[in-house]
Amino acid sequence: MALPHLSEASPDSRGQLETVQRQVISQGSVSLDVEDVPSAAVQVRTIAESVGGFVEQLTSTGVEERQQSTITIRIPQPEFFNVFDRIKLLGKVLNENAGSEDVTERFIDLEARLKSAAREELSLLSLLERAEKVSEILTIERELSRIRTELEQVQGQLNFLERRVSLATITVALFPPRFRVGQLPTASFSMAVSDVSQRVEELKALVSVGGGEFDQVFTTAQNGTERASLTVRVFEKDFNRVVSAIEAMGEVKNKEVQEGTGFEDDETAPPKDPDSRIDVSFVEKMPFREGQPPSASLSLEVSDVSQRLEEVKALVSAAGGEIDQIFTTARDGFEQASLTVRVFAKDFNRVVSAIESKGEVKRKEVQQEIGPIDDETAIPEEPDSLITVEFAEKESSNTGRWVAIGVAGSAVILGFLFYVAFQFGQRRGETE
């Protein structure tokens, strides 16, 4: 049974463009410098409501004289240019954009597709009434489901387009006087330095001289390596100078700088507070190595967790390494262990290979050393290559244990039955 198919709008339908009412989407945006942002926001809402429109979205940020707002209003399409001009009178126009999009052809295409789909639905319903075979009925019902889904989609697109045509959209951004519209400069640094504490003090002095501020300072010392993380804010006029000074403090490992954009030059009205952010991370530069020591993480299934733990301990100790931590647990009869060890870089690959041989490797992640070693004869004072190991007992080990117990138990039971049979036989013989 041949089924009808949904067709696209025919070229003839597009000939209706000259005879139907034009369908136009109007939208615009304007940024204003106003004396009082909250008051101007109320005025924008009042203008929209006066022509039968409404506020679709309102967003406000900042406080007091630094408050700014963004308002999106929807108004009847015929009132678009009238409302747009009235809003521009509320303050100094910083930038504006207004335009219209003719969607008449899209309207005609969607309406044609809707009519075509409706005709196909009627045709399928007619076929369904005459269908006798189960296979035909199922095929027609699948087509009906498909065409009805498409009907809903096309109708949804048409409804959305109608709403956009009937109500124009205007987005209004309100800024206080002398508010500099744009993006402030920011920077982020990761530095390797010889003396972290000294560099932190130098940065504090550098920022304080320009009237800057510290948002946060964190310092840590782990495994003999000192680290510091700082967030500072400086005035935009000092931004480039501070950035250059930070670069000179050590070896730059990572640097990201976002230059300020779209600011109005107004030297007579500088910001009251420093607002250009700089994030700095200092890490102590090890004298014996420029790169990052290797590290590894392994997960293994082993037959005897306790035995493998002792073997790894002996292996690490023989290499002059250290055990950071060991955790052992037993859950549902299965033993598990987790340990973290540190070895010298020269022993790293040998130790990793030895650990792999302890059982079945389920997961392995290895980060080889990054960067060259300046002096091959310079050995670090402490082991610095981290290896994390997880041992889990194989299920087969417990299974074997229970099998052995089961076999032994069966032997005992069989022996007892033979004994009972033997005793019974003897007593019967004596009776006879």
288 pLDDT band (50/70/90 cuts)?
very low
Task: From 262, 1, 269, select the one nearest 131 (Cα to Cα).
Answer: 1
Would you call 228 helix, strand, or coil by DSSP?
strand
Please report, for the chain, how many H helices and E strands are present, in that order: 10, 15
Would you call 96 helix, strand, or coil by DSSP?
strand
Torsion of CA 115, 118, 122, 123, to 10 degrees: 70
What is the domain partition of the chain in residue ranges?
1-180, 186-263+273-284, 295-393
DSSP state of 285: P
DSSP state of 9: P
94 pLDDT band (50/70/90 cuts)?
confident
- Per-residue pLDDT at 377: 43
State the Cα–Cα distance between residues 125 and 138, nearest whole angstrom.
12
- Per-residue pLDDT at 426: 59
State the Cα–Cα distance between residues 333 and 398, nearest whole angstrom.
8
What's the pLDDT tens digit per position in 267-278? 445 566 777 889
State the Cα–Cα distance between residues 279 and 250, nearest whole angstrom.
15
**Mean pLDDT over residues 414-424, rounded?**
56
The mean pLDDT of the chain is: 79
CB 61 within 8 A of CB 203: no
CATH of domain 186-263+273-284: 3.30.70
The answer to whether 186-263+273-284 and 295-393 have equal CATH topology is yes
User: Which has the higher per-residue pLDDT, 125 or 20?
Assistant: 125
Task: From 5, 4, 23, select the one nearest 109 (Cα to Cα).
Answer: 23
**Mean pLDDT over residues 63-92, rounded?**
88
Give me the residues paired with residue 277 across strands: 186, 233
In the chain, what percentage of residues exceed pLDDT 90? 14
What's the pLDDT tens digit per position in 213-229? 887 787 877 656 788 88
- Per-residue pLDDT at 19: 52
- Per-residue pLDDT at 223: 59
State the Cα–Cα distance between residues 431 and 140, nearest whole angstrom.
88
Which range, 154-168, 172-186, 343-357, 407-421, has the best average confidence (pLDDT)?
343-357
Q: Does residue 399 have a pLDDT over 80?
A: no
41 pLDDT band (50/70/90 cuts)?
very high
State the Cα–Cα distance between residues 432 and 423, nearest whole angstrom.
15
Low-confidence winner among 73-87, 172-186, 234-248 (lowest mean pLDDT)? 172-186
- Per-residue pLDDT at 76: 92
Task: From 272, 248, 265, 247, select the one nearest 257 (Cα to Cα).
Answer: 247
Q: Does residue 184 have a pLDDT over 80?
A: no
CB 182 within 8 A of CB 259: no
Q: Does residue 235 have a pLDDT over 60?
A: yes
CB 220 within 8 A of CB 226: yes
Q: Which fold has domain 295-393?
A: Alpha-Beta Plaits (3.30.70)
